[in-house]
């Protein structure tokens, strides 16, 4: 799962990146340069901790999320479409976290002259939408040229023209594409095309120390956090961080809260594999089938799938072990189409 952190200059993107990843990347402005900092973070999950205590494995592996701090996006950048390197970075992300400045600081002037979160949210939405509109218009032009030249698959051309015409109509009404219905065939046409308003997006309201979250209407999920304060806490030793959090009344760091929200944003869930060698958390989409979950572990398990042994994590923890779960009917056999649930412990039977 890869999430791109975006925002206008001086919004505090890198501060948020450091808070989420416990990093210390310099927070100086990039002056329009396209820079990308990435970090892979363990997904905190107390269920993994308890399963590890039960099985005492050689290895305990948490699920991972990758955050990318993407600099270089400025107001007006989409007038002719985003630059290739910037667009390439953005299209690789599964979702976007838009950092919006809410804090005031005389030492860090806002590029637009004033702090106005609602304006910045609208401006970023417009930038992403304009980039998609330009990309769709260019695609329609290429399809028209192909029809004139001939020699191309006419049926395929007609289908793609119908799709991109529909997308153009949606974008022309200043509506993002993430709510548009796209068929499986159309998904193939759009694969790798890089339409940014199709990506899930979360607005992060970057607050100053002690600042209340402003009442702002957003069309996408939003959450407020005190970026600078949480970055400082994240960089402290654990025992000092606990004291600091109590002092400021912070019950949970943004790292944990943001990952939970990110899972909801991308419609993801965790399932587990357990044993003496390894206790491991895996990430898959919600309602993925058992055979799809097997593919997350290894392609051989997916190809040779026979059955899945499944027990809910909570049931296993309550009865105290696999033998007890089987004796009490909590461990069951499921087929390929079984919809895996968050917290399922899954063992794949396969034959390759």
What digits encode the pLDDT tens for the residues 218-267? 888 888 888 898 898 888 888 898 888 888 777 877 777 788 888 888 99
Distances from the Cα of 267 to the Cα of 65, 102, 142, 164, 297, angstroms:
14, 28, 34, 26, 19
pLDDT beneath 70, residues of the chain: 27-33, 76-81
What local confidence, expressed as pLDDT, does residue 77 receive? 62
- For the record, the structure tokens of 104 come out as 């005031």
Q: Please state the separation of Cα 129 from the chain's center in Å.
A: 19
Q: Which residues contact 308 (CB under 8 A, 6 or more apart)?
A: 290, 293, 294, 333, 334, 335, 338, 346, 347, 348, 349
**Side-chain half-sphere of 240: how many Cα atoms within 13 Å?**
7
Distances from the Cα of 149 to the Cα of 37, 136, 139, 142, 207, angstroms:
44, 20, 15, 11, 55
43-83: per-residue pLDDT in tens?
Answer: 889 999 999 999 999 999 999 999 999 987 777 666 666 88
- Cβ-contact 18, 24 below 8 angstroms: yes
What local confidence, expressed as pLDDT, does residue 31 receive? 55
């Amino acid at each position: 799962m890869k999430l791109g952190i975006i925002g206008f200059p001086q919004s505090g993107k890198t501060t948020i990146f450091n808070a989420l990843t416990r990093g210390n990347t310099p927070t100086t402005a990039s002056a329009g340069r396209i820079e990308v900092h990435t970090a892979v973070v363990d997904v905190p999950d107390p269920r993994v901790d308890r399963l590890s205590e039960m099985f005492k494995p050689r290895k305990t592996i948490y699920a991972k999320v990758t955050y990318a701090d993407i600099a270089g996006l400025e107001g007006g950048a989409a007038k002719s479409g985003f630059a290739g390197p910037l667009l390439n970075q953005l299209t690789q992300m599964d979702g976007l976290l838009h950092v919006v400045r809410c804090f005031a600081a005389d030492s860090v002037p806002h590029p637009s002259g004033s702090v106005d979160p609602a304006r910045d949210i609208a401006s970023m939405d417009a930038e992403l939408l304009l980039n998609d509109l330009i990309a769709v218009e260019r695609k329609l032009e290429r399809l028209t040229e192909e029809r004139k030249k001939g020699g191309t698959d006419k049926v395929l051309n007609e289908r793609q023209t119908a799709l991109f015409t529909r997308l153009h109509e949606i974008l022309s009404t200043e509506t993002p594409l993430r709510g548009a219905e796209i068929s499986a065939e159309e998904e193939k046409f759009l694969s790798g095309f890089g339409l940014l308003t199709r990506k899930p997006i979360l607005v992060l309201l970057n607050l100053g120390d002690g600042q209340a979250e402003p009442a702002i209407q957003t069309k996408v999920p939003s959450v407020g956090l005190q970026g600078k304060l949480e970055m400082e806490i994240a960089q402290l030793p654990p025992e000092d961080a606990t004291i600091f959090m109590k002092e400021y009344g912070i019950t949970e760091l943004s790292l944990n809260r943001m990952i939970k929200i990110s899972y909801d944003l991308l419609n993801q869930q965790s399932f587990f594999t357990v044993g003496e060698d390894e206790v491991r958390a895996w990430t898959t989409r919600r309602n993925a089938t058992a055979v799809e979950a097997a593919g997350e572990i290894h392609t051989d398990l997916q190809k040779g799938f026979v059955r899945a042994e499944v027990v809910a994590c909570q049931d296993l923890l309550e009865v105290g072990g696999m033998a007890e779960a089987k004796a009490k009917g909590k461990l069951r056999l499921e087929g390929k189409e079984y919809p895996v649930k968050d917290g399922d412990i899954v063992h794949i039977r396969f034959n390759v």
